[in-house]
Amino acid sequence: MKRVILIVAILSYICNGTAQNISIDKVLNEIENNNLTLKTLREEQKAEKLANKEDIALSNPEVEFNYIWGAYNHDINGKGISVSQEFDFKTILGFKSRIANKENELIDIVYKRERINLLLEAKLLCYDAIYYNALCKELNNRLSYAKANVDAYKKRFDNGDVSILEYNKVKLDYALAKGKLAEIEADREEVFSQLTILNGGKEIILHDESFELIAPLPLFDVWYAEAEALNPVLEYAKNEVELSKNRISLNRSAWAPTFSAEYERSWEENFKQNGFTIGMSIPLWADINKVKSAKAAKIASESRESELKINFYYQIKSAYNKTVILQKSAAETKSAVEQLSNMLYLGKALESGEISMLDYIVEVELYYDARTMALDAEKAYFSSLAKLAAYTL
């Protein structure tokens, strides 16, 4: 028995590797800091925000210098300089600035949405890793017992106590356990590879072999109220409506005249002049349909917001109900497998001759199928819960 325990410990160590274990939260923090897609998106959005601020100031002042010479009197030449500046109400009253600020808020919301999607992908991969770690642990145990049986039956076969058929069954059970473990390890390595890609090429190893405790969910109305307030899709739609209102105000201000002021100074020999000019541009035709267009866009954005709210409500309600069902299934399946396991008695029954090797193999296979089913149920529940609570990432 001590030998079996030693083999289990060694194989478990090999299966888990030697890297330092980290939690799911730490994995997500690392990925957020190291992910190249998010880094690129942050830099692109910095540029977009600066571009949105380009048109919020008054137009540049204009400076002119002139030199005039006489056709009949070449000794008298005129010189002049003028400085002019345009003033429009859209800029002075801050309409352009409000539009730019709201557009930059939309950029932040887009980043928030992409960040959530990426971290959700990483979290689901973490649950896959935990699932494969748990299977790896179970199959390591199975492999150790199978190896112990092979060693025991080898001695019995050499002593003539069992037939070649019985001995071959034991070796076949060991081969099946070894092959299944190799398959699970390959699947687990693929998950770690995907996590490493998300982490900007820096390796991540998650050693957890069990899921979190299954806790009751809050009431749906409580859950929905928080989800609605934090959901970036709805937040984006709400800000689009506010942006469309600002654009209406901006386009209405286009009907206000644009003023210009100009100072001019000219001088000839023994003669100087100073002047001041005020001009006004009256928008009669150029912007005739801009307000109508902005109002139509506002109605469209309000309709889109209402549609998204309705869709989101029923989507999250469906996801919530599904998660509740999966939660119950996971808890019941896990409890049943733990309470009804015969693994403690199978070895003793085999040694005492109460069951045959074939019966033993069938019972072991049945147990590990049930254990896998329980882990499947847990992974399905926590994956569904992660999607339901993605807005908290």
Q: SS3 letters for the chain?
A: CHHHHHHHHHHHHHHHCCCCCCCHHHHHHHHHHHCHHHHHHHHHHHHHHHHHCCCCCCCCCEEEEEEEECCCCCCCEEEEEEEEEEECHHHHCCHHHHHHHHHHHHHHHHHHHHHHHHHHHHHHHHHHHHHHHHHHHHHHHHHHHHHHHHHHHHHHHHCCCCCHHHHHHHHHHHHHHHHHHHHHHHHHHHHHHHHHHHCCCCCCCCCCCCCCCCCCCCCHHHHHHHHHHHCHHHHHHHHHHHHHHHHHHHHHHCCCCEEEEEEEEEEECCEEEEEEEEEEECCCCCCCCHHHHHHHHHHHHHHHHHHHHHHHHHHHHHHHHHHHHHHHHHHHHHHHHHHCCCHHHHHHHHHCCCCCHHHHHHHHHHHHHHHHHHHHHHHHHHHHHHHHCHHHC
Pick the CATH number of 2-55+98-255+289-392 from 1.20.1600.10, 3.30.1340.10, 1.10.645.10, 1.10.287.3240: 1.20.1600.10
| pLDDT tens by residue, 235-285 | 777 777 776 766 666 666 665 666 666 667 666 666 677 766 676 666 655
- pLDDT score of 10 more than 60: no
Check residue 9 and give its pLDDT: 35
- pLDDT score of 47 more than 70: yes
pTM of this prediction exceeds 0.85: no
- pLDDT score of 222 more than 80: yes
pLDDT level of residue 8 (50, 70, 90 thresholds): very low
- pLDDT score of 142 more than 50: yes
Check residue 82 and give its pLDDT: 73
- pLDDT score of 205 more than 70: yes
- pLDDT score of 101 more than 70: yes
For the segment 82-111, the average pLDDT, to the nearest whole number, is 71
For the segment 306-333, the average pLDDT, to the nearest whole number, is 85
| pLDDT tens by residue, 157-197 | 888 887 888 888 888 888 988 999 999 999 999 999 999 99
Check residue 290 and give its pLDDT: 66
